[in-house]
Structure 1
Amino acid sequence: MSQLIIRSLAELTQHEGTEMGVSAYHTITQEQISKFADATLDHQWIHLDAERAKTESPFGSTIAHGYLTVSLLPYLWTQIVSIENLKMQVNYEIESLRFNQAVAVNSEVRLRAKLLSVKDLRGIAKARLEVTLEIKDSKKPAYTGIITFLYHFNS
């Protein structure tokens, strides 16, 4: 997997309308799910109680929080594209997001991203991305959506 490097608004704009690539797979572990539960105070049994999930859950195991999988977006995105020469990056908007399938513990997920548009907001790049979180060996993705990042380039 080769990572694309972008150093300016002009370079980012050149990729408008194209699929940017796919990240490496990331395994969702029970430890990660448990830490997310602690961080967000969401301790629902379907995420934490493996024994109960085996017998009562339609998934047969614990599952990741939907928002845990969304929180992986910036991490997985940086595996596809390295945006350099930045003052900062800001998570700006989730325009639409549809959870299509639960992510069971120990599943491997990866991000597929297409750069829909780039707008120049007085030197700040507003990048809209179509994102799909794919689950290894599953035809149905965990989610699909459109997100927006703001990139404040140094020059």
Structure 2
Amino acid sequence: MTASTTASTTVAAAADLLTYVGKSLGTSRWRDITQPDVDQFAKATGDEQWIHVDVERAKTGPFGGTIAHGYLTLSLIAPLFDDVLKVENLGMGVNYGLNKTRFPAPVPVGSRVRLSATVANAEEIKGGVQIVASITIEREGGDKPVCIAEAVLRYYN
């Protein structure tokens, strides 16, 4: 995986996000989903269900192979979102939570995913700005998104 060097959208300050409601922030780079990533996530979370970690058994399972955990897919919001938004002159940014999270389709190991985001809401908060970003993570060649969520993010001056 290669880190992105420039974001799709760059704003000079958190307050600039107040003008982005309804606007697309862009689309991230593609991210490979590998079996070692899935295995490491399984060990870290204790969710070592065979559909994620048993390659041979999963071949005869409902997905024809191992699949990434939904929460692994969800956790990719953080690194992939960095590809779509950079806030300059920032004191600190925090993930404040999620709304309406769904996993409409599985992510087979060996596939690639990417994120697209739109600012659904933005409001001033004490010391900064809070946005709600409508996030869609898609799988390359897939016919349905693999994750849909609203990420609540806070940017402090």
TM-score norm. by structure 1 comes to: 0.93
The residue number in structure 2 matching 1:70 is 74
Q: 5+ residue gaps in structure 2?
A: 1-5
Kindly indicate whether residue 86 of structure 2 is the aligned counterpart of residue 79 of structure 1: no
Q: 5+ residue gaps in structure 1?
A: none
Kindly indicate whether residue 156 of structure 2 is the aligned counterpart of residue 152 of structure 1: yes
- Cα distance in 2 between the residues matched to 1:41 and 1:152: 34
> How far off is 1:2 after superposition?
5.8
Aligned ranges for residues 24-43 of structure 1 at < 5 Å? 24-43=29-48
Using the aligned pairs only, state the percent identity: 39
Q: Deviations over 1:60-110 (max 9, x none)?
A: 010001000110101101001112222221111211111100100011000
Q: Secondary structure at the match of 1:120?
A: strand
> How far off is 1:5 after superposition?
1.3
Q: Secondary structure at the match of 2:135?
A: strand
- Cα distance in 2 between the residues matched to 1:5 and 1:109: 22
Runs (4+) of structure 1 exceeding 4 A deviation are none
The residue number in structure 2 matching 1:61 is 65
The residue number in structure 1 matching 2:14 is 9
The residue number in structure 1 matching 2:146 is 142
Structure 2 counterpart of 1:4, which letter? T
TM-score norm. by structure 2 comes to: 0.92
> How far off is 1:16 after superposition?
1.6
